[in-house]
Amino acid sequence: MKRLIALVIFSLILSACGLRPLYSGGSKGAVASTLGSIAVEPIQGKNGWLMSNALNDRLGLAQGDDSRFRLVVTLDDQIEGFGVRADDTVTRERRTLRARYQLIIRSTGETVLDATAGADAGIDVVSSEYATIASENTALENLTQRVADQIVTRLSLYAGGE
């Protein structure tokens, strides 16, 4: 009997804590409808094309007048060598992808969210130039997915508090 009373009291306390599911309401909920109303502005370069595709896959493709918001993304993609042999050849590289993104209300031009996201990856430099370039490209694809996930998570948190 004591366990049952404790369980009831615990459930009452837990329900009063103010936590609520972010994606409550499913595809008709506030977060999903806000994410679906964001149009991603074109981003320059190969990394921009990859990022646009990743964001559109996660947000849904809002077009023109249907969108309430514009998402403007600026990318900074860098590769630096840091593992060096005695003969000054690089053995390891780090690829860093940073994104500054702004969520702008289309009707007023007001910026409601201005944030950054980023990730990095290590790359082994091998004797085959082709293999190294393939590794750099794979790292870019993976980093793009991780950064897009961070952006959409932050946009979801914004939409949940709207």
Q: How many domains does the chain have?
A: 1
Instruction: Tell me the three state secondary structure of residue 4.
Output: helix
Q: Give the chain's mean pLDDT.
A: 86
Is the whole-model pTM more than 0.85?
no
CATH number, position 84: 3.30.160.150
Per-residue confidence (pLDDT) for residue 76, from 0 to 100: 96
Asked if the structure places residue 42 within a domain, the reply is yes
Max Cα distance, the chain (Å): 76
pLDDT of residue 60: 79
Give the pLDDT confidence score for residue 6 in this predicted structure.
Answer: 82
- Does 11 fall in a domain? no
In a domain, 10, yes or no: no
Model confidence pLDDT, tens digit, residues 68-108: 999 999 999 999 988 778 787 888 999 999 999 999 999 99
In this structure, the number of other CB atoms found within 10 A of the CB of residue 9 comes to 10
Domain region containing 129: 22-161
In a domain, 93, yes or no: yes
Rounded CA separation 104/89 (Å): 45
The mean pLDDT of 114-140, rounded to a whole number, is 93
Residue at 13 is within a domain: no
Query: Which of the residue ranges 1-5, 7-11, 100-104, 116-120 would you say has the lowest mean pLDDT?
Result: 7-11
Whether 135 maps to a domain, the answer reads yes
Asked if the structure places residue 12 within a domain, the reply is no
